Amino acid sequence: MGAITFILPFIVLITVVVFIHEYGHYYFAKKYGVGVTDFSIGFGKEIFGFNDKSGTRWKFCMIPLGGYVKFFGDRNVFSQAEQEELLKEYNKEDQKKLFVVKPIYQRSLIVAAGPFANFLLAILIFTFIYMFAGKDFTPAKIDEVQKDSPAFVAGLKKDDVIHSINNNKVKSIMDVSTYINASTSEEINLRVIRNDNELEFFIKPETITEKDSLDNEIKKKVLGIKIVPLYNEFNNEKLGPAKAIYYAVKETWFVTTSSLDYIFSLFVGKGDTSQLGGPIKIAKITGQVAQYGLIAFLSITAYISISLGLINLFPIPMLDGGHLMFYAFEKVLGRPLTQKTQEGFFRIGLFLLFSLMFFTTFNDLKDIGLF
């Protein structure tokens, strides 16, 4: 695959999810009267841009790996005394446009609006897919149980119909692999329907390394079963708006909670760190997925949007969640944290982010064979 084949889809994807994220901040900032001086897609030197009537500079920059909205008079770190000094620099009219003088609830909504805009984007994309491309509702039946496999040892049998996995109801044959591989526990809780009776099994899966449909090497959990459609045909339904939104919200929630489970498993030393990736891996997968058409590209866009929204809610200084953490302290203490304390938190946040960037970049380079 040529570099241009995956770079262009990647740039389109990142531009969309970053724009939506930053527009969430921008919308609520304008709603509460905060001045916005810059709306940037990308970092570094500006490629092109324009000024709107309110004085905001909308621009695209050289490095398309993020973006930012800059508020009028914005300062990342400030103390109570510094805030008072800041006010002296502006007249009464300009003071009303300062972000730092807004009530905590307004600042919190402005900051949180970015991540939640990403979740909303994912819901809209899934809704569109379910309405116009459809959603699969094919029941899953076990057609074969491999001898001596985890499923065989547990007692699963041919013709068992899979009802739920880890308390997630299986509505589609495609849910089976998703729910099994999203599990972070040592055992899979699987319920099946056999002769009109519901039976429950706890199965410890095997982990194997194989190539996925995009020819990428992945670690996969397997039970040793072969799945087929219950009635030997697939059931794909185009949903109405209300039903599509319901399943879109449900899918977004599942991806979010599964991601949190995975992150928690990393902290306790049980997660597979080799699956973490950065911009190179995302670009590679985006390019591969884009070749399968618009629906596949929209799907990966929704998943990346959820990831961006979720990561930004982590209570790490420099991320949106870090700012929300500071506002929580301010609400409890009745004043902002001291400048020295905030700077200390920012150094910790910077260290964590650079460590994560280094680790994911190392995984990316290893994935393309440079290590």
pTM of the prediction?
0.86
- Give me the mean pLDDT over the 177-182 stretch: 86
Tell whether the model's pLDDT for residue 333 goes beyond 70: yes
Local confidence band at 108 (pLDDT 50, 70, 90 cut-offs):
very high
Compute the distance between CA of residue 43 and CA of residue 8 in angstroms, rounded to an integer. Answer: 17
How does pLDDT run across 77-89, given as a tens digit for each residue? 555 556 666 677 7
140 and 121 in a common domain: no
Tell whether the model's pLDDT for residue 214 goes beyond 80: no
Does residue 252 sit within a domain? Answer: no
Local structure of residue 101 (DSSP, 8 states): G
Average pLDDT, the chain: 84
How does pLDDT run across 130-141, given as a tens digit for each residue? 999 999 999 999
Compute the distance between CA of residue 75 and CA of residue 82 in angstroms, rounded to an integer. Answer: 10
51 and 114 in a common domain: yes
Of 171, 196, 55, 34, give the one whose Cα is nearest residue 111.
34
Element (H, E) at 154: helix 150-154
DSSP reduced 3-state for 51: strand
Least confident of 86-90, 123-127, 244-248: 86-90
277 vs 309 pLDDT, higher one: 309
Does residue 282 sit within a domain? Answer: no
123 and 73 in a common domain: yes
Tell whether the model's pLDDT for residue 92 goes beyond 70: yes
Local structure of residue 275 (DSSP, 8 states): G
pLDDT cut 70: percent of the chain above it: 83
54, 274, 325 from 290: Cα distances, Å: 37, 24, 37
163 and 122 in a common domain: no
Can you name the residues that pair with 60 across neighbouring β-strands?
A: 41, 48
Contact 215, 223 (CB under 8 A): no
203 and 91 in a common domain: no
User: How crowded is residue 63: how many other Cβ atoms within 10 Å of its Cβ?
Assistant: 9
205 and 165 in a common domain: yes
Total number of domains in the chain: 2
Local confidence band at 368 (pLDDT 50, 70, 90 cut-offs):
very low
Which positions ≥6 away from 289 have C-beta within 8 Å? 9, 214, 296, 297, 299, 300
Tell whether the model's pLDDT for residue 258 goes beyond 90: no
191 and 178 in a common domain: yes
Does residue 109 sit within a domain? Answer: yes
pLDDT cut 90: percent of the chain above it: 47
Compute the distance between CA of residue 117 and CA of residue 26 in angstroms, rounded to an integer. Answer: 11
Residue where one domain finishes, among candidates 237, 252, 269: 237
252 vs 286 pLDDT, higher one: 252
User: What would you report as the CA-atom Rg of the chain, rounded to the nearest whole angstrom?
Assistant: 24
Compute the distance between CA of residue 279 and CA of residue 291 in angstroms, rounded to an integer. Answer: 19
pLDDT of residue 145: 93
> Could you give the residue numbers annotated as active site?
22
pLDDT of residue 271: 62
159 vs 362 pLDDT, higher one: 159
Residue where one domain finishes, among candidates 219, 237, 255: 237
Residue 319's domain comprises 3-132+301-367
User: How crowded is residue 262: how many other Cβ atoms within 10 Å of its Cβ?
Assistant: 17
Local structure of residue 159 (DSSP, 8 states): T
User: How crowded is residue 361: how many other Cβ atoms within 10 Å of its Cβ?
Assistant: 15
12 and 127 in a common domain: yes
Of 272, 262, 365, 347, give the one whose Cα is nearest residue 311.
262
333 and 361 in a common domain: yes
Does residue 202 sit within a domain? Answer: yes
Residue where one domain finishes, among candidates 187, 218, 237: 237
120 and 152 in a common domain: no
174 and 127 in a common domain: no
- Give me the mean pLDDT over the 1-17 stretch: 78
